[in-house]
Amino acid sequence: MTTATTLRSRHLLGITELDPEEIDLILQTALAMKEVGTRPIKKVPTLRGRTVFNLFFEPSTRTRMSFELAEKRLSADTLGMTTAGSSVVKGETLADTARTIEAMSPDVIVMRHASSGAPHQIAKICRASVINAGDGMHEHPTQALLDALTMIERKGRLKGLRVAIVGDLVHSRVLRSNVLLLTRMGAEVCACGPATLLPPGIESLGVRVTTSLDDAIDGADVVMMLRVQHERMHGLFLPSVREYFALFGLTAARLERAAKDVIVMHPGPMNRGVEIASEVADGPWSVILDQVANGVAVRMAVLYLLAGTDGGHE
């Protein structure tokens, strides 16, 4: 594959906008960024003098902390805002928050929001590069990129890799970004979940769909378990947690159908005993903490490519 040397857009709003060469560029850059984390002084001057605002309108542990760490490793000046500590609780609109932020001239805005499309709205108002850190049930592009980096490190490739993505698919931005990325890079994706949790039209994205966990796992190189998102459920999607675990919970016994060297992934946070048994989450198949570590490198790569003083968008 010919690797691109820059990203076409000054924003990262979704995997939708990236072509395979750009995905490859981000992943190659992330591999190079990993070296910075092994140095005694884990810092480079790439974003010195750049200001990054982290706007988290929804809770986050992994994404928020890894963006902050990535920014600090690149020497950026960073500010954080969450809903609870901001004037959003006084009723300020997203557009007014955006205009207020724009008046402070940030170079990069990292944004998580419960509404699909909120980062796109900010990108129309602000001059800064906007990075989508998860918007509603739409996309979580840096999650899919760190997942891809983890698969490449463990499996050496994405092309032809058999990936089963299992769980609460209808509410999952991680599913959508992963399907877009993996199919674009030539992986074979199987999506599995209860019929009530399958997004309508998911087959049109080029994935095989099944409601049988055994069928999904059969011969899989990668099994990615997704969280049951109780907070986004406002209907009777599941009969009971016990029944869900019996049908869709990943156990060591069920993993025997997968490829011998299968890896198990989960974006976190996990519901142990709901979508995944602790014996699997903490077992030899699990690369869940590798995913967290790779999140820092991927976010460094994206920040560098969008806002770096040497090679990024000016």
Between 46 and 113, name the residue whose CB sits nearer to ligand CP: 113
Q: Is the backbone peptide bond immediately before 199 cis, with ω within 30 degrees of 0? A: no
Helices (H), the chain: 20-34, 62-73, 94-102, 118-125, 141-155, 173-184, 213-217, 241-248, 252-255, 278-281, 288-307
Count of residues of this chain found to bind ligand CP when the rule CB under 6 A is applied: 10
Between 34 and 62, name the residue whose CB sits nearer to ligand CP: 62
> Is 81 buried (19+), middle (13-18) or exposed (0-12) by CB count in 10 A?
middle
The secondary structure of the chain in percent helix, strand, coil, rounded to multiples of 5, reads 40, 15, 40
- Report, in Å, the least distance between residue 172 CB and ligand CP: 11
Between 84 and 104, name the residue whose CB sits nearer to ligand CP: 84
Contact track, ligand CP, 111-150, x by CB under 6 A: -----------------------x--------x-------
- Report, in Å, the least distance between residue 40 CB and ligand CP: 28
- Report, in Å, the least distance between residue 150 CB and ligand CP: 12
Footprint of ligand CP on 247-276 (CB under 6 A): 267-269
- Report, in Å, the least distance between residue 29 CB and ligand CP: 21
Task: For residue 128, give the 3-state DSSP assignment.
Answer: coil
Footprint of ligand CP on 38-97 (CB under 6 A): 60-64
d(CA 58, CA 114): 6
Between 4 and 265, name the residue whose CB sits nearer to ligand CP: 265
- Report, in Å, the least distance between residue 303 CB and ligand CP: 16
Between 4 and 151, name the residue whose CB sits nearer to ligand CP: 151
Longest Cα–Cα distance of the chain, Å, equals 56
Choose among 84, 73, 83: nearest CA to 111: 83
Q: Under the criterion CB under 6 A, does residue 199 sit at the interface with ligand CP?
A: no
Between 4 and 173, name the residue whose CB sits nearer to ligand CP: 173
- Report, in Å, the least distance between residue 96 CB and ligand CP: 26
The tokens for 273 are 């005993």
Going across the sheet that includes 129-135, the strands are: 77-82, 51-56, 108-113, 129-135
Choose among 176, 277, 171, 259: nearest CA to 223: 259
Task: For residue 174, give the 3-state DSSP assignment.
Answer: helix
- Report, in Å, the least distance between residue 293 CB and ligand CP: 13
Between 25 and 133, name the residue whose CB sits nearer to ligand CP: 133
Task: For residue 52, give the 3-state DSSP assignment.
Answer: strand
Interface residues with ligand CP (CB under 6 A) are 60-64, 134, 143, 267-269
